[in-house]
A and B are shown apart, each in its own frame.
Chain A
Amino acid sequence: MDIKRERDEYIVEMKGITKRFPGVLALDKVDFNIKRGEIVALLGENGAGKTTLMNILYGLYVPDEGEIYVDGVEVSIRSPADAIRLGINMVHQQFMLIENFTVLENIVLGSKLLGVKLDYRRAVEECNKISKALGFSIPLQRRVSELSAGERQRVEIVKALIRKPRVLILDEPTSVLTPQEVKELFKLLRDLKGRGISVVFISHKLNEVLEIADRIVVLRRGKKVGELSRELADPLLLAKMMVGKETLITLNKSTASVGDVVLLVKDLTVYGDDQRVAVNNVSLRVRRGEIVGIAGVAGNGQKELAEAIYGLRPVASGKIFLDGVDVTKMSIKDRLKLGISYVPQDRIRYGVVRAFTLIDNVLIDRVDEEHFNKKLLFFNLIDVKKVTKHAEELIMKYEIVAPHAYVKAGTLSGGNIQRLILARELERAPKLMIAEEPTAGLDIKATEYIRQKLLDMKASGVGILLISSDLSEIFQLSDIIAVMYNGEIVGVFKPEEISYEDIGFYMTGLYKMPREEVLKRWESY
Chain B
Amino acid sequence: MGIVLKFEKREVSSWVSALAPYASIPIAFLVMAIALYLTGYDPLLGFTSFFHGAFLSQLGLVTSLARSTAFLLMAVGIGLALNAGVLNIGGEGQYIIGAIVATAIVITTQDFLPPLVSLILALTGSLVAGALWALVAGVLKAYMGVNEVITTIMMNILAFRLLQWVLRGPLKNPLSEAWPMSPPLKPHLLELVPGTTFNIGFLLALLVAILTQFILYKTTIGYKIRITGANVDAALYGGINVKNIVILAFMYSGALCGLAGAVDILGVFHFLYEGISIGLGYTSVVVALVGRSVPVLIIPASLMFGCIYNGFTHLQSALGVSYTLSKAIEGVIYLVILVIHLSTEYRVKVLVR
Contacts and interface: CB of A to CB of B under 8 A. Distances in A.
Direct contact of A and B (CB under 8 A): yes
A62 B4 contact: yes
Interface stretch (A113-121, A182-190, A297-305, A342-350): A342-350
Interface stretch (A26-34, A159-167, A373-381): A373-381
A331 B4 CA distance: 47
Contacts of B230: 353, 355-356
Interface in B198-231: 214-215, 218-221, 223-224, 226-227, 230-231
Nearest to B11: A411
B132 to A, nearest CB: 22
Interface stretch (A196-204, A361-369, A391-399, A475-483): A361-369
Given A353-B230, A380-B221, 6 more contacts: A78-B2, A333-B241, A349-B234, A352-B231, A355-B231, A363-B238
A360 interface: yes
A364 B234 CA distance: 7
A352 B239 contact: no
A354 interface: yes
Interface of A: 22, 62, 76, 78, 311-312, 331-336, 342, 344, 349-356, 360, 363-368, 373, 379-382, 410-411
B351 interface: yes
B231 A312 contact: no
Contacts of B223: 360, 363, 367, 382
Contacts of B219: 379-382
Interface in B76-117: none
B335 interface: no
Contacts of A381: 218-220
B97 to A, nearest CB: 27
Nearest to A62: B4
A375 B88 CA distance: 31
Which 6 A-B residue pairings sit nearest by Cβ, starting from the closest?
Answer: A333-B239, A332-B239, A365-B238, A364-B238, A380-B220, A350-B237
Nearest to B237: A350
Contact of B9 (A351, A356, A380, A410): A410
Q: Indicate the member of B2, B8, B237, B351 with the most A CB atoms within 10 Å.
A: B237
Interface residues of B, number: 29
Contacts of B241: 331, 333
A356 B230 CA distance: 8
21 contacts: A62-B6, A76-B353, A78-B2, A312-B236, A332-B237, A332-B239, A335-B239, A336-B239, A349-B233, A349-B234, A351-B234, A355-B230, A356-B226, A363-B223, A364-B234, A364-B238, A365-B238, A368-B220, A381-B219, A382-B218, A382-B219
Contacts of B237: 312, 332, 342, 344, 350-351, 364-365
B240 interface: yes
A365 B221 contact: no
A353 B234 contact: yes
A363 B221 CA distance: 12
A331 B218 contact: no
A76 B352 CA distance: 11
A78 B239 contact: no
Interface in B297-348: none
Given A333-B239, A381-B218, A382-B223, A350 B9 contact: no
Contacts of B214: 379
Q: Indicate the member of B11, B215, B221, B223 with the most A CB atoms within 10 Å.
A: B223
B353 A22 contact: no
Contacts of A363: 223, 238
B239 A22 contact: no
Contacts of B1: 76
